Structure 1
């Protein structure tokens, strides 16, 4: 339970502030970078270890889980991507697992990591990378780069330019076609990033607001648990947090699935020849 020296407003601001260095455009949010890199490394380590130790005999629980994930994502990729490309399924698997792991950080108790890092000397530390728009927009820009790359690969430079100029209304409306297609192209990464950011930001904010119910007791656990009002607040906070966490268990994989699914759909659209 965090200190209430600066009140509810200070508590919320503290939990929404990143550990950062630099100023302006060159500001680095080190907490988001560190957590996302560690989770990406964890994904590579676990899946790589399982692939190296895979056996044709009776598989262990971890191998079963990894094989299930690979088959699930591979099936979705084949059903959604109307073409042949060996990059699509690994990309979809990477997006889904990585985004899922980052989303899962929202289920960690809201004060656990900030208080722990504060005791080690870091005043601010946000453990949920996807509430940082830089992270979600960076992921979506990678998808945009793949969309353009797939368009050039399947249609060629001439075909891609021709589609931008002549689709959907023909050569007589080339300026309008160009503007429309550029807006559509840029809207894809923007919508991807804002959807993921908005859903997880709102979820985290609700966890923070629930945590403020017992903020007035500060660190005096004994005082809170021995008073009627404190006990009622603690019970209410626990019930609300539990209900929201259970509901959020559905949101965590759903948002990862949506980000992955839309990425594959966009790549399939880029590979189609109009």
Structure 2
């Protein structure tokens, strides 16, 4: 449901909250870039008034509200109404139409994920992963490809990552973990049946947990240390394939790797250059 409709359906908005709503609807593009302090100063209202307004619309806070506001702008810009994210092509579509629709879908998924990023949290997570001794990625099915890709990238700068896919191995690994480990869980929905069992054991072992999944997928906030949200446009079941969620998750993992790389840019670049001849023995 769009913000416009949420405002229309909202009950008992105070005169102050109605003024907040009117200002936001008229100044969407500017509000997306405001902090709550800046919006408060613009409207001469308290931050608590803005927070109450956001919560009446069903959002946890102002940042969640801004994510939705930005998403609606993005989808409007790329004319998302021209295709279905879950069924991006139809039976009579020609190859060019299919290619064009997937191009639009990837653009939407990446832009939507971009707007979900909490940059302070991203920076903190990057530093934690950069300095920890052991990174364990817990995931399954198609997300294993993204985990393996991240592992390969990290190895190119000399950092080891464990990709644990088998449910039995996941439990063994969690059991053997300690505070020198950092766990990364990749799950679009956050509802995979194996997650809670692993989270409980990691909590017991004092292992920080980073969950990367769609907005709203952190179902166990008491057991998850950090949550990086990605686009939540895709249906969990009613779809042709995981086009959108795969693209969004791959983008987020690439961003995360790049932030880690950038923390020691010169050192990592030197490492890559020094290893080229050993890793690539082609006669080019």
TM-score clears 0.5: no
Larger radius of gyration between Structure 1 and Structure 2: 1
- Normalising TM by the smaller chain, what interval? under 0.3
- Higher relative CO (Cα under 8 Å, sequence separation at least 6) belongs to 1
TM-score, normalization by structure 2: 0.27
Choose between structure 1 and 2: higher helix proportion: 1
